[in-house]
């Protein structure tokens, strides 16, 4: 019992410290132990200064796999991401952000004793529950989002989180096109375009979806450079310049 109390107060002390670091904008306080203040993966983000939201679904499928589903987790160094996480499975799951090495270490600890943590880089969700993790990725590198509940990682619950200073830009190739028609009400735009390399499509005239922000940058007859991708199964203009 004494041990348990000790562990609990230590956990509270550590997470309080991690939050405090977040509000200091990442300044490294020499007096703090390095374990929590200098996590390789970054630091707790300020919910008021989120750059982007990534929706994440935790679930099991009929093939016995357990999955963390989301768009590609390709993040720019310094970006603050709100991970909007929903557990659509029938089991309890976790979402932990860390290095691959540290996740592996914690997985071994969890196998010995299934501990419930309350660290800002992780959240545990009952079936049907949802929650969020707001995180600032301070360092470039390849990290990992995982569920460390015994057996779940092995069943597939891990995915790569790539953080780089160039990745988000370098990854995309702009295609030139001419806007033939805009249907703002339907959120559709018809573009006569060159080959779409990322979608493996030849030059042609096609209808794309576009949100209001993209529409605002377009006019009929205009020549544009754009990027299109599949969003929820629909061809969508994701970037325009």
Residues lying near Cu ion in the complex (CB under 5 A) = 93, 147, 149, 152, 157
CB 75 to Cu ion: min, Å: 22
**Is residue 42 classed exposed, middle or buried when 0-12, 13-18 and 19+ CB atoms within 10 A define those classes?**
buried
H/E stretch holding 12: helix 2-23
CB 66 to Cu ion: min, Å: 5
CB 152 to Cu ion: min, Å: 3
If one counts every other C-beta atom within 10 angstroms of the C-beta of residue 24, the result is 11
Q: State CA 165 to chain mean position distance.
A: 16
Please list the residues that pair with 136 across neighbouring strands: 43, 80
The smaller minimum CB distance to Cu ion, of residues 149 and 237, is found at 149
CB 153 to Cu ion: min, Å: 8
The smaller minimum CB distance to Cu ion, of residues 147 and 210, is found at 147
The smaller minimum CB distance to Cu ion, of residues 122 and 193, is found at 122
DSSP string, 197-211: GGGTB-SEEEEEE--
Please list the residues that pair with 176 across neighbouring strands: 225
Tokens of 105: 């270490």
Instruction: Report how far residue 56's alpha carbon sits from residue 158's, in angstroms, rounded to the nearest whole number.
Output: 12
The smaller minimum CB distance to Cu ion, of residues 79 and 144, is found at 144
Instruction: Report how far residue 85's alpha carbon sits from residue 83's, in angstroms, rounded to the nearest whole number.
Output: 6
CB 94 to Cu ion: min, Å: 6
Query: Which positions ≥6 away from 154 have C-beta within 8 Å?
Result: none
The smaller minimum CB distance to Cu ion, of residues 83 and 226, is found at 83
CB 95 to Cu ion: min, Å: 9
The smaller minimum CB distance to Cu ion, of residues 127 and 207, is found at 127
């Amino acid at each position: 019992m004494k041990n348990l109390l000790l562990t609990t107060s230590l956990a509270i002390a550590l997470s309080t410290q991690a939050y405090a670091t977040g509000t200091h904008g990442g300044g490294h306080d020499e007096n703090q132990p390095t374990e929590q203040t200098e996590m390789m993966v970054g630091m707790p983000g300020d919910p008021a200064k989120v750059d982007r939201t990534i929706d994440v679904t935790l679930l099991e499928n009929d093939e016995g796999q357990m999955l963390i589903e989301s768009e590609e987790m390709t993040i720019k160094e310094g970006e603050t991401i709100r991970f909007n996480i929903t557990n659509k499975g029938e089991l309890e799951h976790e979402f932990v952000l860390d290095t691959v090495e540290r996740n592996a270490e914690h997985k071994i600890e969890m196998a010995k004793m299934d501990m419930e943590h309350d660290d800002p880089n992780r959240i545990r969700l009952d079936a049907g529950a949802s929650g969020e993790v707001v995180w600032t990725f301070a360092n470039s590198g390849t990290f990992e989002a995982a569920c460390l509940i015994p057996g779940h990682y092995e069943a597939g619950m891990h995915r790569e989180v790539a953080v780089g200073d160039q990745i988000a830009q370098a990854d995309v190739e702009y295609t030139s096109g001419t806007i033939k028609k805009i249907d703002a009400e339907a959120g559709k735009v018809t573009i006569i375009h060159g080959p779409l390399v990322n979608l493996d499509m030849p030059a042609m005239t096609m209808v794309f979806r576009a949100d209001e922000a993209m529409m605002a940058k377009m006019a009929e007859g205009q020549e544009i450079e754009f990027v299109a991708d599949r969003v929820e199964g629909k061809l969508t203009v994701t970037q325009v310049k």
